[in-house]
Structure 1
Amino acid sequence: MSDDLLGRHDALLADLDGTLYRGPVAVPGAADAVRGATDRGVPTVYVTNNASRSPADVAAQLAGLGFPAREQDVRTSAQAGAAMLAELVPAGAAVLVVGTASLVDLVRERGLEPVTSGDDADAVIQGHSPDTGWRLLAEATVAVRGGAVWVATNVDLTLPTERGTMPGNGSMVGVVKVATGAEPRIAGKPAARLLTEAQAAVSSSRPLVVGDRLDTDIEGAVAAGAPSLLVMTGVSTARDLVRAAAVRRPTYVGADTSALTRPVDELTPGEKDGWTVRLDEGALVLTGNGADLDALRTLCPVAWGAAGDGEFDGPVRADGSAAADALARLGLA
């Protein structure tokens, strides 16, 4: 077994937006990292909470960006949601689909009958679509209020786009929650189901979850009992990481997916060369000089230890100019 991170795992369960690509552009080095893993016999399952596109469309985009991706390598929250729904209602049940045509197809493939009226629905499945409007949300409200089974493919409040952060499926789910007082069953991350299905798809016993969001990717990994690598190329920031509650703390922290070929000890949160951290009346105090990411890895366990299972809410301070510069670059000043 190799001493690098990749050598400890037999599959990668990789998030997409913010981890492997940003909008239409691959994150620098990500395609090389995934191809390198494939060359070493470690497959990648592309695991996305985005329920708006079919696995075939996702695979085509990935392949166009240089990733070794086939349709069967993609697992979406829409697939997990349709599978969950089929376990909850009988064959032929009427399902109001709040989502795209690909979600309608997945529901139909599970032997269920898509409908357009909440009055007729035995169940509701809700996934992201940029075309979702008031009328369809109103129909979902009618169905859920009437006792229909309700499944959300995911509850991401926001969605990264080329024009900045936009409302995600969780924001639309929130509309129905407010109107009904009900809570949906959740198929995608941070629930474990999507990741455990991805793991089973490649018969993995030693998976590594790779992602950029603490509230979906990392929390999902914790729920699934899998180790995780947080990459700092997307949504979650250094401040988010230092303050993270126990359910959102990654096993490893890397700048990007090139971390897969770095030594495990380098990536594990803990004291690193050049840095020390002390707790002073509830504040983290960083001292020393070295790599910024090593400063972050050194800060984390001290903050987490002080917070227990909850979120660290104290200030972060510097002792010395080098530490002050590092905190500023990390967004922790």
Structure 2
Amino acid sequence: MSRQQSRTRPGSSETVLREAYDTALLDLDGVVYKGGEAIAHAPEALDAAREGGMHLAYVTNNALRPPDAVAAHLTEIGVPAEASDIITSAQAVARLIADQVPAGAKVLVIGGEGLEVALRERGLEPVDSAEDGPVAVAQGYGGPDMTWSRFAEASYAIRQGLPWFASNTDLTIPSARGIAPGNGAAVEVVRIATGAEPQVAGKPLPPMHRETILRTGAKRPLVVGDRLDTDIEGANVGEVDSLLVLTGVTDAAQLLAAEPKYRPTYVDEDLRGLLRGQPEVVAEEGAFTCGGWSASVRGDALAVEGEGEGEPIDALRALCAAAWAQAGDGACELKATEALKVAGLE
């Protein structure tokens, strides 16, 4: 079992994270922006991290837009970026497909421009119909206006025996109005219609990690994300450290309940976590303390007390240690509502 998978408390770092790691592999939706708008503190924190010598790379499971469009959007919201700074699941799945089909082959695309651009980069020809002679099917997020006929086209081709590839299987995606269906929901539609299983490239699977390392050359990477089941699990699969930020999909209760493969190295409120060290969570007489907070297990519930020097995020770190230590190799099933209320985390 890897050191990440055996984690029973959040890690600590006396060195600020921007100096402890050479490259931040940052998720986008829910980390840098939400609904197209920059998340609070993100531009300033990333600018400071960059000036401190940290290389910033943006790694997204969203295959909708090509890298140049993503970079332009980031620059527009105050996060300067070049196309070469962007790594998408479209690129990862395009490489996966190119390794298995002849050069120049046609591929049926069920998705957006980002997937088409990535396939062309690998020397493949995107097509729109199962009648155009494709040798494979590539499915990626196509935006909220993807029509039902596209799923039908994928089904026709897959039922003819063509191999099926999916950029990712995230069931949801953050939006300005809340949580919306993601590519994984669309993949489920095609799976139900065909009974087939796709080869998947995106986080948390190895093809995405491979693509990221090939394109960034990172030696000491830190994965930064908001999702336990993609960003953090992907970091653990790749055996690299991770920072979970609470600006997107994952909330405090979900973090406490996380089983080992979903547990991050560090946890912080937002991207300002890159600009500071991470405090140690100390075990003391059946309790765990961090920043003046003390967390423990009382009966079938978690408890926290003390409003010392720490912030609510310190209480969460202490609660994570109490929850994960009790759960061991499983998911924590202790009640946490009252403890989170006391800590101001609800």
Same fold (TM over 0.5): yes
Residue by residue over 1:222-277, the C-alpha shift from the partner in whole angstroms, topping out at 9 and shown as x without a partner, is 11111000111111100110001111110001111111122233589963132222
Residue 66 (structure 1) aligned with residue 78 (structure 2): yes
Q: Distance in 2 between matches of 1:308 and 1:147?
A: 44
From 305, 316, 332, the equivalent of 2:336 is: 316
Q: Distance in 1 between matches of 2:103 and 2:337?
A: 59
Indicate how the Cα distance of structure 1 residues 256 and 95 shifts in structure 2: closer, same or farther if over 3 A, else same.
same
From 98, 106, 115, the equivalent of 1:94 is: 106
Q: Distance in 2 between matches of 1:251 and 1:189?
A: 17
Q: Distance in 1 between matches of 2:114 and 2:296?
A: 52
Structure 1 position 324, deviation (Å): 6.8
Structure 1 position 47, deviation (Å): 0.8
Residue by residue over 1:289-321, the C-alpha shift from the partner in whole angstroms, topping out at 9 and shown as x without a partner, is 342111111111221122223221221265xxx
From 46, 57, 60, the equivalent of 2:58 is: 46
| One-letter amino acid matched to 2:96 | M
Q: Distance in 2 between matches of 1:157 and 1:205?
A: 31
Structure 1 position 285, deviation (Å): 2.4
| Structure-1 residue corresponding to 2:4 | none
| One-letter amino acid matched to 1:75 | I
Q: Is 1:34–1:68's contact at 8 Å kept on the other side of the alignment?
A: no
| One-letter amino acid matched to 1:121 | P
Further displaced range: 6-15 or 83-92: 83-92
Residue 326 (structure 1) aligned with residue 342 (structure 2): yes
Indicate how the Cα distance of structure 1 residues 262 and 105 shifts in structure 2: closer, same or farther if over 3 A, else same.
closer
| Structure-1 residue corresponding to 2:17 | 5
**Per chain length, whose mean CA-contact separation is higher, i.e. which structure has more relative contact order (CA < 8 Å, sep 6+)?**
2
Q: Is 2:305–2:342's contact at 8 Å kept on the other side of the alignment?
A: no
Q: What secondary structure is seen at the aligned counterpart in 2 of 1:41?
A: coil
Q: Is 2:24–2:55's contact at 8 Å kept on the other side of the alignment?
A: yes
From 121, 128, 131, the equivalent of 2:141 is: 128
Q: Is 1:13–1:199's contact at 8 Å kept on the other side of the alignment?
A: no
Residue 236 (structure 1) aligned with residue 256 (structure 2): no
From 142, 154, 157, the equivalent of 1:143 is: 157
From 25, 28, 32, the equivalent of 2:37 is: 25
Structure 1 position 173, deviation (Å): 0.4
| Structure-2 residue corresponding to 1:293 | 313
Q: What secondary structure is seen at the aligned counterpart in 2 of 1:144?
A: helix
Question: Please, what is the CA RMSD of the aligned residues?
Answer: 2.2
| Structure-2 residue corresponding to 1:278 | 296
Q: Which runs of 5 or more residues in structure 2 are unaligned?
A: 1-12
Q: Is 2:14–2:279's contact at 8 Å kept on the other side of the alignment?
A: no
Structure 1 position 174, deviation (Å): 0.6
Q: How many pairs does the alignment contain?
A: 326
> Structure 1 length normalisation: TM-score?
0.91
Q: Is 1:15–1:48's contact at 8 Å kept on the other side of the alignment?
A: yes
Q: Distance in 1 between matches of 2:325 and 2:14?
A: 30
